[in-house]
A = this chain, B = another copy of it.
Amino acid sequence: MIEPTERQRFLLALVVHEYARTAAPIGSRYLVEHYNLGMSSATVRNELAALTEMGYLRQPHTSAGRVPTEEGYRYFVGRLLQETHLPETLRHTIAHQFYQMGNDVDQWMRLAASVLAHQSRAASLVTAPHPEKARLKHIELISTRGRQVLMVLVIVGGEVRQRLMTLSEPVPQDVLSAAADSLTRQFQEMDAEAIRQARVELSALERDVLDWVVEDLERAESRIAGEIYLDGLTNVLAEPEFASSEEARRALRVLEERSRLQDLLARTVLATGTVGGVQVLIGGEGTWDELRQSSVLLAQYGVPGLAIGTLGVLGPMRMAYGRTISVMRFLSGLLSDLVAETLAEGD
């Protein structure tokens, strides 16, 4: 792909920016009238024609203004984008809200999704911090009624899993507690595999419980993300490109259907275009047909090796990349700090 000249890059950025604002094709005259370009519309026309030739812009029809192509956006995001600086007051307000919230992960996630949706004016997604390797922290067994036992499993990193199991016969609470204690002591800090290999003398009850524990740990590991929080879905419905509702439907289905979401999240690691830790998928990148009109930004947060989560934004392809990326980086940092402080204090 041919490299545009300095002036062409400038104009490309201008078109991207204006198109994001107005959602209408941008013409040469419009640019000259709204910016002090120091050149005439004819010159701009020539440059726009060149950019169109190169594949960065296109015309919806012969006599319309220009609109960025996917390639145009990629070039813009990869080379031209300059980070928007978030006002200090905004950073402050947001951080304050998080710290005011105490130590409730659930609330953090909800807040993060909300902030992200508002600031980007698009649909947002946040996954709860999730351990890469699930190591046992604590087992608790609580007799509920009859043969039913509630098993509470705490994983290193703070995730709590619960499960109701039915034993073959009733077991008194003190026996359950003793079993839980014993298992906790023996297998603390171990992951599923280690537990499975470390064969130790166990009672029938303990063996049963341990099977459940291993299964649960494995399940925790196999999940690609923790709980998923969505917000701002209706934001994308407000965008003109999704007015047809059919396009909106396709795009939002990606967020609603678990399997497709997993698919998308899996992509977080295999970067296509990365800007300061934020991955930018433009127009579905040829893989996701439902996202032909949309862009998805993904970023990770957390402490590698301990627990990581994902931030995501889904919006129209003409979204405000600069601002959104800034917000995502800021939030990612903030959440990483929170995770670090909460889970690793005293390490």
**Assembled-state Cα–Cα distance A177/B177 (Å):** 11
Interface string of A240-251 (1 = CB under 8 A from B): 001111101100
**Closest chain B residue to A258 by CB distance?**
B110
CB-CB under 8 A from A237, the residues of chain B are 237, 245-246, 248-249, 252
Q: Name the interface residues of A148-197: CB closer than 8 Å to any CB of B.
A: 148, 150, 152, 154, 158, 160, 162-166, 177, 181
CB-CB under 8 A for A154 and B154, given A137-B142, A234-B252: no
Which of B152, B166, B342, B343 sits near A160, CB closer than 8 Å?
B152
Tell me, rounded to whole Å, the shortest Cβ–Cβ distance linking A188 to chain B.
Answer: 10
Tell me, rounded to whole Å, the shortest Cβ–Cβ distance linking A119 to chain B.
Answer: 17
Interface string of A335-347 (1 = CB under 8 A from B): 0000000111111
Interface of A is mostly: mixed
CB-CB under 8 A from A152, the residues of chain B are 140, 152, 154, 160
CB-CB under 8 A from A344, the residues of chain B are 145
Which of B144, B146, B150, B342 sits near A148, CB closer than 8 Å?
B342
CB-CB under 8 A from A345, the residues of chain B are 144-148
A271 at the interface (CB under 8 A from B): no
- Asked if A154 and B150 sit within 8 Å, CB to CB, the answer is yes
Number of this chain's copies in the assembly equals 2
- Asked if A164 and B158 sit within 8 Å, CB to CB, the answer is yes
CB-CB under 8 A for A346 and B145, given A238-B249, A252-B233: yes
CB-CB under 8 A from A256, the residues of chain B are 231-234
Tell me, rounded to whole Å, the shortest Cβ–Cβ distance linking A291 to chain B.
Answer: 14
**Closest chain B residue to A114 by CB distance?**
B258
Q: How large is the interface on A (under 10, 10 to 19, 20 to 34, 35 or more residues)?
A: 35 or more
**Closest chain B residue to A254 by CB distance?**
B234
CB-CB under 8 A from A342, the residues of chain B are 148, 164
A33 at the interface (CB under 8 A from B): no
A103 at the interface (CB under 8 A from B): yes
- Asked if B158 and A144 sit within 8 Å, CB to CB, the answer is yes
**Closest chain B residue to A137 by CB distance?**
B142
- Asked if B163 and A104 sit within 8 Å, CB to CB, the answer is yes
Tell me, rounded to whole Å, the shortest Cβ–Cβ distance linking A331 to chain B.
Answer: 20
CB-CB under 8 A from A233, the residues of chain B are 233, 252, 256
A253 at the interface (CB under 8 A from B): yes
**Assembled-state Cα–Cα distance A181/B148 (Å):** 20
CB-CB under 8 A from A244, the residues of chain B are 243, 245
Q: Name the interface residues of A122-157: CB closer than 8 Å to any CB of B.
A: 137-138, 140, 142, 144-148, 150, 152, 154
Which of B103, B144, B246 sits near A137, CB closer than 8 Å?
B144
Beyond A105-B164, A138-B140, A152-B160, list 5 extra A-B contacts (CB 8 Å): A140-B140, A144-B158, A148-B342, A231-B256, A237-B252
A–B complex contacts, Cβ < 8 Å, 17 sampled: A103-B166, A137-B144, A138-B140, A146-B346, A147-B345, A147-B346, A148-B345, A150-B158, A158-B164, A164-B342, A177-B181, A233-B233, A233-B256, A234-B253, A237-B246, A237-B248, A242-B245
